[in-house]
Chains A and B, each alone.
Chain A
Amino acid sequence: MKRRDLLKTAGLAGLATFAPSAWSVAIAQDGSRILTLANPAGFPDLDPSTSFSNDGLVLANVYEGLTRYYPGTDGGTATIEPVLAESWTTAADGLSWTFKLRQGVVFHDGTPLTADAVKGSIERTMKIAGGAAFIWSAVTGIEAPDPATVVFKLSSPQPLDIIASAGFAAWIFSPASQAKDNAWFNAGNDGGTGPYKIDSYEPGQRAVASRFTGHWGKAKEGGFDKVSFEVVEDSTLGQNMIQSGQADWTYGLPYDNLAIMRADPDLSVVANPSFETLFGLYNTKRAPLDKPKVRQALSLAFPYDDVINAGTAGLGARAHGVIPPGIWGHDPDAPIPNTDLDAARKLLAEEGVTSLDLTMTYATSDPLEQVAGELWKANLEQLGINLTLQPMAWEAQWQLAKADPATAQDIFVMYWWPTYVTPYDYLVSLFRSEAAPNYNLGYYSNADVDKLIDDGATLAGTDRAKAEDDFRAAQRKIIEDAAAVFILDKPNVHVIRANLQGYADNPAYGHVVFAGDLSRKA
C-alpha cells in the first residue's frame, strides 16, 4: 500500500464511524426518491452520436437503442432483446436487415418514434463519424418504407441486431435534436426516449435526470423519481459516500478495501465477470520469441492463480483465450496452460535457451498489470530469464509497439473489450495479420487463423452457430501457437447500498446502471 493510500485509509477508519452528514440526500424535500450514482470518472460527451466513454452511464438511462444484449448466465445462451425495435429479420444473403419498430413510443419532446427518426439518428452518427460510429461501417443505406419499418442495407453480412445493441453510437434520438450540435447536448439537453430525461448537467460535477412519465415501459413500483450521476474521481471520497449513504452505487475502489465493504451490513459488493480481458502479446517477430516453444514456456511460467488472488482479490477469472465468457464464441474448454515451471524449463532446453533478457511494456498506474508483471518476473528468474518491467503512458506504449517490431517490446500487456458484443472484434484486431501493426502488437501472422476469422465474419450475419465454430477454431490455434499469454478476465466490481432492489450487472454495457429497473427497499 502506498503512503498516500495508508494515510487515506487511516483517515477513513475515523470517518466511517461518524453519522452521515447533513449534506446527504436520499429523499428530496418534495418527497421524491433519488438514486445517487458515484462515478469515478467524468462524463466528457453527452452527444448520443459521438459519446464513447464513461458518459454511457448517463446516456443508457436517457436514450434507447433498437435492441439490447443480455449475456447468457451459467452457460446459457446470450439473447438479444427488443427495445425500440419489436422484431427484426435478415435477408438470406445477410445484406439487408429489417426492423419493425415498437408502437406508442414518444421522445422526451413529445414527438413519436418513427422510422425516419431512426434513420436520421444513425445517419447523423455516421456522418459525424466520431466516437464508435465505425460500428456502422458496413451500412450503405437506411430506408424507411413506412413509419414503423426501417431497412438497413449492408455491403457485407454483419450481425446488425447485435451492432444495434451497442452501448455507444447506436442511440436513437428525436428529429428535432438531430439538427442540434455537440454543444447543445453538452449543455444538458437531450432528445431520447429513455426512462429518464436530463434536467441539468454540470461538467465535471454531476448530471441530474428525472423520470420521463411518457416512457413506453411500465414504471417500476417504488422506482426512483430522480437520478443523480455524481462525478467522484477520488476513490476515498467514493468509499466515504457509499459508506455514509450519500451514494447508492460506486466502483473503482481498491480491491484491498472490499473486505471492509463486505463486512458492512448496509452495503453489497457485487462482483461479476466483465468483457474486459487482460493479456500479453508476444513479439513473434523477434528471436527467440519467434519460436512457439519459447512462447509456450513463458506462458507455462505465468503464475495465473497468484495474479488473480493478489491482483483482484480472487475475483478475476482464468482467461480461456481472448474471448471472455458471456460473449458468443467463448470457449470454456479451450486448452489453456497451467503454471508448470518444470515443463517450461524443458521447452526452453529443447530450444537451447538458457538465459534471456525480455522487456514487458504495460500501462503506467495500472496496479493489476504491475502485479502480473512482478509475479511473472519472479517465476521467470527461476528459469534464468530476466524480465524488465516497463510502465508507459498508453500513447507511448502504443507508439513504440507500432513503430518497428525489431526494436519494440518483447511483451505488450493490454486490455481488450468489445464496442459491441462480438468475438470478431477481439480476434481481428489482435491476431489477424496486419501489414502495418495497429493492434496486432505481437505481429502474429498465420494464414489459417486469418481465414478462420474472415470466414467467421462472413457467416456472423447469417449463420451464427457456424461462425462461432470458426472463431473457436481460430482461438484454439492462437492458444496452441502461444501468440499471447492470456492473463485473466477482469471482474466488474460494484459496491451498492444493500437496500437497492433489482440490481443486475450487464457486462455488455460496462459500468452502466439501468436506473429504471431499480427501487429501494423500505
Chain B
Amino acid sequence: MGLGRYLLRRLALSVLVVLGVTFLVFVAAQVVPSDPAALYAGPRPTADQIEKARAELHLDAPLPQRFAAFAAAMATGDFGVSYKSRRPIAQDLRAYLPATLELATVSTLLALLIGIPAGAFAAARRGGWLDRAGGLASIAAVAMPTFFLAMLLQAFFAQGIGILPLSGRLSREIALSAPLDPVTGFTLIDSLIAGRLDVFRDALAHLILPALTLAAYPAGIAMRLTRSAMIEILGRRHILAARALGLSRARILFGHALPNAVGPSLTVLGLSFAYALTGAVLVEIIFAWPGLGRYVSEAVLSKDFPVIAASTFVVTLCYVAMNLILDLVQALVDPRVAL
C-alpha cells in the first residue's frame, strides 16, 4: 500500500475515532447527575438565575438538536464558553495547551533519548554492571511515585545545589523586568522569535525538572522493553551473519538490531505522551506548571462539561496525530513494518 493511500485510510479512521469520542462525551454529560444551569448561573445562584441560565443555554431543547450544536462547536474549534467561568474555552486552551504540549514533548523526547539507548546498551552488555545498574534505575524510575520523585529532584537540584529553579515556567525576574510577549504560547519558541536568549535559557532551565519527572516512567518502561527486545534480536541468525561478516559492534547494535527492537518502546512513548497531556496533574501542581491537567481537573471537579468535552476533543486529536506519527516513524525505522 502506498503512503498516500495509507494516510487517507488512517485519516478516515481518525475522523471516526474523533466522532465517537465526541458522541461519548456528550452522552456522559447527559448521564452524570449535575445541573449545568446552576453551574453557569455562577457561585451560589438564586433559583431565578438558574432558570434564566437554563433558557440561555437552551438546556430544554431536544437532545438531537443539542448534540448537533455541540458537535458543530467542536468541529469549528469554537468550543463555546465554560459553564463555570463563562470564559471562551478556546481562549483558555490557547493559554494552557501550549504549556502542556511543551512539557509533554520535551519529556517524551527525554524518555526516548534516555530509555532506548540505555536499553540497547544494557542488552549489549547483558549481565554486566551497566545492565544491572540500568535495571535498578529503570525499576526505580517506574516504581517511584511521581510526586516523590518530583520532590527529590526539587530538593537536590533546586534547594540543594541551586542550579535549577524550583517551580514555574519562567522566572519572576523576566515577568518583573521585561515580560515575554506570547506568540505561539510555547515559551521556547516564543523566546527565539523574540530573539531573547536569556528567556530561552530560563525556560529550558524551568523545563528540566518537570520534564525529567514525567519522563521517568516511560523511560524506565522503554528501557526494559528495548532491552528484552534487543536481547531476543541479538540472538537471531541475521545478527550472527552480520558478526561473521565482520561488521563493527556499533553498526550491528544500532544499525541492525535496534531498528527491529524499538517498536514496542515507541508505542509506549506515544501512549505516555497522550497520558501526559491531561494526566500530569500532580507534576503540574508540584512544579506550579500552568498546564492543561490542572485546568481539566478543576473542570472535572465542578462538572464543567464544555471544558471537559473541549479538552477531551483536543487531547483526542493530539493522540490520534501522535499515533499516526509513531506508526510512520516505525515504518521508516523498522524495515519489517509495511504501511
Contacts and interface: CB of A to CB of B under 8 A. Distances in A.
B169 to A, nearest CB: 6
Contacts of B151: 7-8, 11, 236
A438 B288 contact: no
B38 A398 contact: yes
A107 B336 CA distance: 69
B111 to A, nearest CB: 23
A492 interface: no
Interface in B164-202: 165-173, 175-177, 179
Given A18-B162, A42-B290, 20 more contacts: A8-B147, A11-B152, A21-B166, A23-B166, A25-B173, A29-B177, A45-B85, A53-B43, A130-B86, A131-B42, A134-B42, A186-B87, A204-B95, A228-B176, A230-B288, A237-B286, A244-B159, A246-B166, A393-B303, A398-B38
B44 A429 contact: yes
Interface stretch (B23-31, B239-247, B294-302): B294-302
A353 to B, nearest CB: 32
Given A30-B177, A130-B42, A228-B175, A237 B169 contact: no
A28 B170 contact: no
Contact of B49 (A134, A246, A436): A134
A240 B166 contact: yes
Given A34-B176, A204-B95, A439-B44, A231 B167 contact: no
B239 to A, nearest CB: 45
B166 A202 contact: no
A241 B160 CA distance: 14
B104 to A, nearest CB: 16
A25 B87 contact: no
B335 interface: no
B181 to A, nearest CB: 9
Interface string B70-89: 00000000000000011110
Interface of B: 33-35, 38-39, 42-47, 49-50, 85-88, 91-92, 95-96, 99, 145, 147-148, 151-152, 154-155, 158-160, 162, 165-173, 175-177, 179, 285-288, 290-291, 294-295, 301-303
A412 B14 CA distance: 46
Nearest to B302: A395
A236 B171 contact: no
Nearest to B169: A205
Given A393-B301, A436-B47, A202 B290 contact: yes
B165 A233 contact: no
12 contacts: A7-B145, A11-B151, A18-B160, A23-B162, A36-B172, A206-B175, A230-B168, A234-B285, A395-B34, A399-B33, A429-B44, A436-B47
Contacts of A402: 35
Contacts of A182: 86-88
B305 to A, nearest CB: 11
Contacts of A11: 148, 151-152, 155
Contacts of B33: 396, 399
Nearest to A240: B166
B35 A399 contact: yes
B87 A204 contact: no
A427 interface: no
B96 A52 contact: no
B170 A202 contact: yes
A267 to B, nearest CB: 17
Contacts of B35: 395, 399, 402
A343 interface: no
Contacts of A7: 145, 147-148, 151
Nearest to B303: A395
A237 B165 CA distance: 12
Contacts of B87: 44-45, 182, 186
A342 B148 CA distance: 49
Given A22-B162, A205-B168, A393-B301, A231 B155 contact: no
B182 to A, nearest CB: 8
B86 A203 contact: no
Contacts of B165: 21, 23
Contacts of A109: none
B291 A18 contact: no
Contact of B291 (A199, A204, A230): A204
Nearest to A208: B175
A14 to B, nearest CB: 6
A232 B50 CA distance: 33
B207 to A, nearest CB: 14
A25 B288 CA distance: 17
Contacts of A34: 172, 176
Nearest to B181: A200
Nearest to A200: B179
A234 B286 CA distance: 5
Interface string A180-209: 001100100000000000011011111010
Nearest to A128: B86
A208 B176 contact: yes
A52 B179 contact: no
Contact of A205 (B42, B290, B303): B290
B177 A438 contact: no
B96 A202 contact: no
A38 to B, nearest CB: 9
B39 A237 contact: no
